[in-house]
Structure formats: structure tokens, C-alpha cells
Amino acid sequence: MAKDGGLTAASRLDWLRLIRSENVGPVVFQQLLARFGSAGAALRALPDLARRGGRRRIKLCTAAVAEDELAAAAAVGARPLASCEAAYPPRLGALPDPPPLIYVLGDAACLADPAVAIVGARNASASAVRYTRGLAADLCQGGLVVASGLARGIDTAAHDGALQADADGGTVAVLAGGVDVVYPVENQKLYEAIVAHGAVISEMPPGTRPQARHFPRRNRLISSLGLGVVVIEAAERSGSLITARFALEQGREVFAVPGSPMDPRCRGSNRLIRQGATLIQNADDVLEVVGPMIARPSFWEDPTEQAGIYAPTPGESHDSDADHQRLTALLGATPVDVDELIRLSELTPAHVITILLELELAGRLDRHAGNRVSIS
């Protein structure tokens, strides 16, 4: 660590190399750090862990590749923030599996301000666009930052309204590609305004073109940045409903604006209301719910307590082949809770987590919501 609590240049390089290595996602990253104490030590241990999981060779991110990524970020003015650093967004850091590293363009300080996310249809109706602009402006006047995804329709209107508000609040755009890649391209001027008055963030390397598989990761960040998510005109099976599901998993509030039952764009948001989402008509309805959260510093729990994750202690001995076979026999295509695996296997939590870690590094384990896993 550097004296200011941030990462040294060498540690940042190791940090980036680890998260960019094959089969290392946020959960595995956190478990590796807990076990080995540093990203550098975890990198050295990866090949052996993957072999124990059944993979002969795992692809490690090289120092040259990581250096090129950091240089690309510096070239566009993006700031890398690791989850261990003080400037990292506190609501992201409160997740059990925060993105280990994000890139920020603009004012990183606004990421610590109270925020609410607004999401909805790309092909939004004119009335919904008008409503969203007014709602976002009123939320900013109420002291909140508005987070969204820079997409067409509701996202664009949310950013527009926040920027037009004469308030201390701002807006944050979360991108599915790199922070320097504007999508859709017609939002170039909006993107520039957000960089000037708010922030643009992404967990993808600079220069990355957005692909369909990136958008769920982006939606997860959108939901986690706010105290709650407002859904406006969301069709069934829409990305907005994925964002709402992430919000529920993360313990965030879900708000929905009611719409016409005749409009297919409103079926998803109307269904959220039937399932218990808070129906809202204006910004006051949102502020009434999130106000007490802002006033309670203890609202954000310790991430390890939230997750219920067990971590092996540094230097703990490897599991035996018999332990490995016993746990693997309990896994199948149907997701099972990790706590149930611990109970059925009669192994220690640390041994179970170690074996699951090895299987995941070998590309044989899939993780699911609710701390459940299945074997590939």
C-alpha cells in the first residue's frame, strides 16, 4: 500500500493482472486476497490452484498487457480505482463481491454522494421521457445523484434532467464498454456533459466495445450505486428488470412508476408493483423512503457479514483428494447453497471454499444468486 492508503504502482499492476486472469471474477478475487494476502501472492498460486481443480494450464494476464491497459486509461484521462482504496464508491465497496477495479472519468467524489438509479425502456413514450426528466431534476434538487446507463430513452432523459437541475447533485453514467466508448453514439454530447459535471464509470478496460454479455454487469453496477432503483416503462424480460433484481439482491429499494396496462412497455414495471415494489408518483415519494437511509451512517453493513462468505486463513493446508472427491460428488447441474454443501460434506467451511475456488479457476464451477453454485 502507498502512504495515502492507495495502491503502489506495483501493487496496482498485480491487482489488475489478477482480475484480468482467466476465470477470476469478483468472488474469486476476494477469496484469493483473503487467502494469500496480496494480489501478487495470489497470482503466483493460481496455476497450482487451477491444476487441483482439474485444469492443466490457466491463462494469467501478463504485466505487459496490464501496463498497456493502464496506459490506455491514462491517455483518455480515466482514473483507476481499486476496491481497497478510499476513493472507491462506498456503496460498491459494501457489496460482498465488489468489482475489484473500476475506471472513472470526471468527478470521482460524486460517487460517494447519496444516489438513486433510474432505468427504463429504450423506446420510451414521449410522456415517460418528459416525466423522467422532471423526476431526475427534482431528485437532484433534493440532494441526490442520479445514476443510469446512458442508453436511449429513459436513461438519456434521466441524465438530461439531472444535468439541467440547478442543484448540488449530479449524475453518473455506468457504461457496458470502456469509459472512453460512447454508446449509443448519438449521446456523445450528453456523455461529454456528464464527464464535465458528474462521472462516467466502467469496470471494463478502456477501448472495450460494449457487447450483449457486458450489460448485466453494467446493470449490477447501476443498482449498487444507489440507495434504490426507479423503474419507468420496463417491458417483460427487459434489462431494467434485471437491474431491479440486482437491486433486491443487494438490499436496495425498488420503486416503480405505474403505466397503462394496455402498453407492453409498462408490463414489467407494473408487475414489479404487484410484487411489492414501491409505487411512486413524484420525487417526494422517493425521498420519503431514502431520506432515513441517508441519515443512518450504519445503513451499509460490513460486506463480509452481508455475504456470509468463509475465507481460508493464509497458509492453511490444502484439502485432500478425498475431500475434493467428497464435495465434487455433491455438486450437479442444479444450483445448491454453499452452506448446504458445508453441512452435507461435513468439511470445514474453509475447505469447502478452497475446493470451490479451485473448481472455479479450472472453469468447472458456475455461481448463482443467493450464494449458490453448480458444476459445469
Per-residue model confidence as pLDDT tens digits over 28-61: 999 999 999 999 999 999 999 999 988 889 999 9
Cell numbers at 210, concatenated: 460494449
User: In this structure, what CATH number is given to the domain that contains residue 366?
Assistant: 1.10.10.10
Alpha helices by DSSP H, listed for 198-320, are 215-225, 239-249, 267-274, 283-295, 303-307
- By C-alpha distance, which of 103, 213, 202, 85 is closest to 150? 202
pTM of the model: 0.89
* Total domains, the chain: 2
Give CA–CA dist 31/14, Å, rounded.
16
Q: What percent of the chain has pLDDT over 70?
A: 91
- pLDDT beyond 70 at 319: no
Per-residue model confidence as pLDDT tens digits over 107-153: 999 999 999 999 999 999 999 999 999 999 999 999 999 999 999 99
327 and 289 share a domain? no
275 and 367 share a domain? no
- pLDDT beyond 80 at 324: yes
Q: Is residue 62 in a domain? A: no
Give CA–CA dist 34/186, Å, rounded.
44
Mean pLDDT, the chain, whole residue set: 90
Give CA 355 to chain center in angstroms. Answer: 25
**Residue 47 phi, psi (nearest 5):** -55, -45
- pLDDT beyond 60 at 273: yes
Answer for the pair 218, 174: CB distance below 8 angstroms, yes or no.
yes
Boundary-marking domain end, from 241, 276, 299: 299
- By C-alpha distance, which of 180, 186, 161 is closest to 171? 161
118 and 165 share a domain? yes
Residues in Cβ contact with 282 at an 8 Å cutoff, skipping those fewer than 6 apart? 135, 138
203 and 319 share a domain? no
Range of the domain at 317: 308-375
pLDDT level of residue 169 (50, 70, 90 thresholds): low
